[in-house]
A = this chain, B = another copy of it.
Amino acid sequence: MNLMREKNMQHTTQRAQTHELLKSRGIERALFANIATVKWLTGFAPPIQTGPSPFLGGPPLVWYENGHWTLMVLDWQEANAGEFARQENCALVSYTGYTIDQPLTGQVKLRGLFRSVVKNNLSGKIGIEARDAPADIALTLHELGAAELIPVDTWLESFRRIKTPEEIQKLRDNFFLTDIGHAAARQAVQVGATEIDVWNAAHYAIEKAAGQRVPLGNDCVVGYRKDNVGGAPLKYEIRAGDSVIVDLSTILRGYWSDSCATYYATEPTAKQRAMHNTAQRALDMGISLVKPGAVAREIDFQVRELMRKEGYPVYWHHTGHSLGVTSHEDPRIVPYNDMKLEENMVIMLEPGIYFSGETGVRLEDAVLVTRDGAEILTRHDKSMP
């Protein structure tokens, strides 16, 4: 795996697309405050595993002004930003978070930094991610003379659906990590082990391979749990005959992966074999439908239909979804979604069968929509023992 980024990309496409859009709508200035947007626009991704730092003044902010970009972050984040944030037409500025010389006032300092970046006399329309911008930052814009604030919260979502080559490389590297996690989890599913043991085996293998801490999300649930569709690992012990659903999402360079498999501590029962085979057929069928022009809800319908025809209860969750700077985004493969797939979308598909308190199976792959079909990005072993 190559954890270094290609030098000549650095999310320039994303900023160019956004610039064109804002320009076409007559917006000369804009504030972006949603962490997903900030990652997408700049490639900058702060650590997240322990929540917001007490030194942090607020979310990283991006200010746009006539094709120029400024990313505002905590000084400690700047020190760790490296190449991620030192980019063409995107300045990086920071405020003091930690000091032993005065009380901690990161939030006041972020506001001061914001003021100095934005300057005075804001004329014209100003775009703002109002759902995520802190109220006091929005108020600062008002104080600086902003007359007309235009909410732009959802404006970039359609761009985000189509992944750039740089993003696809980040996702490939990240799926490689979940593959490693799955191999370790598969080994760790043994009679007497707990869900936490399996989780730890996966997480450890992932961090060892990455050479750094990696956030890990999703599910590790033994079949006899009442809610055996998903959930964080607990101390449930794995017994002979048990199935274990392991659904892993890692976050690398701000981008999410995802993938699921079902493992067995002993020889699967005949019922489990039949369920597993149906889930695999459903997944394969779903993948076979993926190509440019395919309609999301039609894939959803076909995969559910296969479940129903093979005599199983149809899962209540989505058939699939895309991902990127968040773990779940459009195109969602769900009953209402008329959206058509396009080249360079990345789609997760994850049909499952669940018998509450008894056993369950879910299998999930990631696919890249190619010019005439799909390339599978996940390579974990989903076969039965």
A148, CB-defined interface residue at 8 Å: no
Q: Which residues of B contact A52 (CB under 8 A)?
A: 35
A102, CB-defined interface residue at 8 Å: yes
For A53, the closest partner residue in chain B by CB is B327
Q: Which residues of B contact A208 (CB under 8 A)?
A: 194, 196-197, 200, 235
A234, CB-defined interface residue at 8 Å: yes
A251–B50 Cα distance when bound, in Å, is 8
Contact of A336 among B102, B131, B233, B330 (CB under 8 A): B102
Mostly helix, strand, loop or mixed at chain A's interface?
Answer: loop
A371, CB-defined interface residue at 8 Å: no
State which of A164-172, A210-218, A276-284 sits at the interface with chain B: A210-218
Q: Which residues of B contact A24 (CB under 8 A)?
A: none
How far does the Cβ of A209 sit from chain B's closest Cβ, in whole Å? 10
User: Which A190-204 residues sit within 8 Å CB-CB of chain B?
Assistant: 194, 196-197, 199-200, 203-204
A51, CB-defined interface residue at 8 Å: yes
Contact of A50 among B48, B107, B194 (CB under 8 A): B48
Q: Which residues of B contact A215 (CB under 8 A)?
A: 49-51
A1, CB-defined interface residue at 8 Å: no
Smallest CB-CB A-B distances: 8 pairs: A135-B138, A50-B217, A211-B235, A48-B51, A130-B136, A100-B334, A54-B328, A133-B135
Q: List 30 A-B contacts (CB under 8 A).
A: A35-B51, A47-B232, A48-B51, A49-B215, A51-B215, A51-B251, A54-B326, A54-B329, A55-B328, A100-B317, A100-B332, A100-B334, A101-B334, A102-B336, A107-B131, A130-B134, A131-B134, A131-B136, A132-B134, A133-B134, A135-B135, A135-B137, A135-B138, A138-B138, A196-B208, A196-B211, A199-B213, A200-B204, A200-B207, A211-B234
* Residues on A facing B (Cβ under 8 Å): 35, 47-55, 57-58, 100-104, 107, 128, 130-139, 151, 153, 194, 196-197, 199-200, 203-204, 207-208, 211-213, 215-217, 232-235, 249, 251, 316-318, 326-330, 332, 334-336
